[in-house]
Structure 1
Amino acid sequence: MNSHKEFEKQLLRLDPTAADFLLRVDELVEAVPEFDRNDGLIEPIFTFFEAHPLEDMGAPGTLVHLTEGLYPSYVERLLDSLRAQPSYNAILMANRILNGRLSTEERSKYMSALVETANTPNLPRSLRDLIHRFLERRRKLDADS
């Protein structure tokens, strides 16, 4: 594979509900040379997440792991995604960041983003419930520490 555009084109052709999705997405990512695994992949991945907001794609899966390897470059795009087109994977990624070592200010930023996302009009119930589970768990962990 020779470009981020080609990656995007091939990614957007995948169906995350297909039985062979995990294999196909793994093959797609493996075809990206190490030197091309950079910030240019962030936008296509979030576009894919937003196009399939209810699919877990491996929970967390190859795409989440690839994106997390680009931390913190993807953070603003993640927050934008949570505001504009919340998806299972964006919510999962925000929660995974919250599970890390963060300053009080950073933790507050991600907690607020998830609360705001939970209040998104017409948010599917499954995503709202997921956010509430993550927030409840995080609040309990923070209270215990």
Structure 2
Amino acid sequence: MNNNEQEFIETLRKAVSEDDFINIAYDVVDSIKESETPYNFVEPILQLMEDFPEADFGQPGPLTHFVETFYNNGYEELLYQSVKRKPTLHTIWMMNRIINDPKLVNKESYLDLLNEIRNRNNVDKDIKDRINFFMGDQ
């Protein structure tokens, strides 16, 4: 990650607990979109969500809208790896949005991951409950 990319991510990290986080995130995303390599921000944004699982990132919020612009261009694999590493309520919800795509080819791999996560001993009950809710729709 170059210095400019680090600066944007650090701004988000510092602001994540602020009351006006969503507004700050919109401003940062606007700047990221102007960068030469906006896709490079997808993984650090997902890592931010992992690092701050209790944060309100919006429904879906500017960060989710931004990373989803790379749907069918690598975002889903990065999200899959993030959820596998450290599922959060927000990233599980984002994965469910992918699963709900009727054109999704490899739906079973996402469902298998959710099944695996809900059987882990080290996963928060709220995350398991959310997965059970989503899986009830499948």
Q: TM (normalized to structure 2)? A: 0.86
Aligned length: 135
Report the equivalent of 1:118.
118
Report the equivalent of 1:142.
none
Does the CA contact (< 8 Å) of 2:12 and 2:24 recur in 1?
A: no
Does the CA contact (< 8 Å) of 1:54 and 1:127 recur in 2?
A: no
**Residue 88, structure 1, aligned to residue 89, structure 2:** yes
Report the equivalent of 1:109.
109
**Identity fraction in percent:** 30
Does the CA contact (< 8 Å) of 2:76 and 2:98 recur in 1?
A: no
Does the CA contact (< 8 Å) of 2:32 and 2:38 recur in 1?
A: no
Q: TM (normalized to structure 1)? A: 0.82
Stretches of structure 2 that go unaligned for 5 or more consecutive residues are none
Residue 111 and residue 56 in structure 1: after superposition, are their counterparts in 2 closer, same or farther (change >3 A)?
farther
Which residue identity lines up with residue 6 of structure 1 in the other structure? E
Where do 4+ consecutive residues of structure 1 move more than 3 Å? 33-37
Stretches of structure 1 that go unaligned for 5 or more consecutive residues are 140-145
Q: Deviations over 1:52-110 (max 9, x none)?
A: 1233410211111100001131222211111111112211111000111235x511111
Q: Deviations over 1:12-50 (max 9, x none)?
A: 2122x4321111111221222435462201121011000
